[in-house]
Structure 1
Amino acid sequence: MSRTIRVVVVSGSLRNPSRTHGLLQALVERLQARLAIEVHWIRVADIAGGLAGSLERDTASPALLPHLQAIENAELIIAGSPVYRASYTGLFKHLFDLVDYQALKGVPVLLAATGGGERHALVIDHQLRPLFAFFQAHTLPYGLYATTEAFTDHQLTDPAQFERIERALEPVLAFFHHAADRAA
């Protein structure tokens, strides 16, 4: 496959640095080794002020518009959030509240989350999948979840997590190779 794929990575953490960003960074690095991608990063921690003050799309902060347009024009979304009280962060959800509800139909979405313990891993299936189902996006079958033990200074270091990343990327690669075969 020779064309470049537009990827938007949304890190829902309210902190900088964050383990969520570390997980997403490791994922993107592995994806870049396998596909030609153009990455647009959205770190909720960096846009929190403009995001919190934007109640509707029509009155959204001008600084948010490029991020919203990037999401709406993405060919792949990688979305991750830390777990707060069994769900994603409020500002992560608010960002997607401002996205055109028809823009993500059929767009593949790779889900990721970080949390303090294994009991929070269900956030992927019980919170993130339903959010993207509303948009009629194509959530990919493998989500990535990592606990605090998988990191050293916000960098992913657990070898088992790198294996999970490789497994999670298989459907991504299949999705784009199949689309390229159909186009040819």
Structure 2
Amino acid sequence: MGLADVALQTLRDVLGRRGIRVADTRVDVYRLGAGFTGALDREGIEPSVETALRDVENADLVIAATPVFRGSYTGMFKHFFDLVDQYALANTPVLLLATGGGDHHALVLEHVLRPLFGFFQAMTLPVAVFASSGDFDGTVLLNPRVYGRVELAIADVASVLEERASPA
């Protein structure tokens, strides 16, 4: 499993024990197609792209995962968030995940991703998770320390999500 898969499965396990169902809504920006990559704004985008944007804007939790490319998030990742409404993620918990070629890429979490979601006034979780290429065997995450950080991050957000899910 990749890093995002590990985070999602851990979230399901932790919240499932608390009786909260986790939806399996994913947005893979690389699969959105030309209707996404050619979009300059929200006007006239394809329905599938609009649905993906609304799924993120209406989420109770966003798990934002990106590979590091030239010291930052990928252009496709940024383009997607350029189309997200500026205030749609206000107070939304966001778990930051990134993968890179080596540990020197880990700062992307604090110096690039956290400011991006600060612009949206999102509630980025204190614990962010980075995994380097050495933590994987191909696409399978092997490093138990990375698993531990994912568990710590999910523990941070579980009570917030539980509180939001409980009836008032």
Q: After TM superposition, is the score higher than 0.5? A: yes
Partner of 1:162: 147
In 2, Cα distance between equivalents of 1:48 and 1:112:
23
In 2, Cα distance between equivalents of 1:176 and 1:43:
23
Choose the corresponding residue for 1:33, options 13, 20, 23.
13
Structure 1 residue 23 corresponds to structure 2 residue 3: yes
Deviation at 1:55, TM superposition (A): 0.9
In 2, Cα distance between equivalents of 1:48 and 1:93:
15
Deviation at 1:113, TM superposition (A): 0.2
Choose the corresponding residue for 1:56, options 34, 41, 47.
41
Deviation at 1:153, TM superposition (A): 2.0
Structure 2 gaps, min length 5: 16-20
Asked if the contact 1:80/1:112 (under 8 Å) is kept, the reply is yes
Q: Matched residue pairs, number? A: 163
In 2, Cα distance between equivalents of 1:178 and 1:100:
25
Partner of 2:93: 108
The 1:31/1:48 distance shift into structure 2, 3 A limit, reads same
Asked if the contact 2:60/2:161 (under 8 Å) is kept, the reply is no
In 1, Cα distance between equivalents of 2:164 and 2:80:
28
AA partner of residue 37 (structure 1): V
Partner of 1:146: 131
Give the structure-1-normalised TM-score.
Answer: 0.83
Partner of 2:105: 120
Asked if the contact 2:66/2:77 (under 8 Å) is kept, the reply is yes
Across the aligned residues of Structure 1 and Structure 2, the Cα RMSD in angstroms comes to 1.5
User: Whose strand fraction is larger, Structure 1's or Structure 2's?
Assistant: 1
> What SS does the corresponding residue of 1:40 show, helix, strand or coil?
coil
Partner of 2:18: none
In 1, Cα distance between equivalents of 2:52 and 2:58:
10
Asked if the contact 1:48/1:91 (under 8 Å) is kept, the reply is no
Give the structure-2-normalised TM-score.
Answer: 0.91
Deviation at 1:31, TM superposition (A): 0.8
In 2, Cα distance between equivalents of 1:132 and 1:176:
18
> What SS does the corresponding residue of 1:64 show, helix, strand or coil?
helix
Asked if the contact 2:95/2:125 (under 8 Å) is kept, the reply is yes
Structure 1 residue 129 corresponds to structure 2 residue 114: yes
Structure 1 gaps, min length 5: 1-20
Deviation at 1:61, TM superposition (A): 2.4
After alignment, is 24-33 or 167-176 more displaced? 167-176
Question: How high is the sequence identity, in percent, across the aligned residues?
Answer: 43
In 1, Cα distance between equivalents of 2:162 and 2:60:
13
Structure 1 residue 94 corresponds to structure 2 residue 74: no
In 2, Cα distance between equivalents of 1:45 and 1:158:
26
In 2, Cα distance between equivalents of 1:180 and 1:69:
19
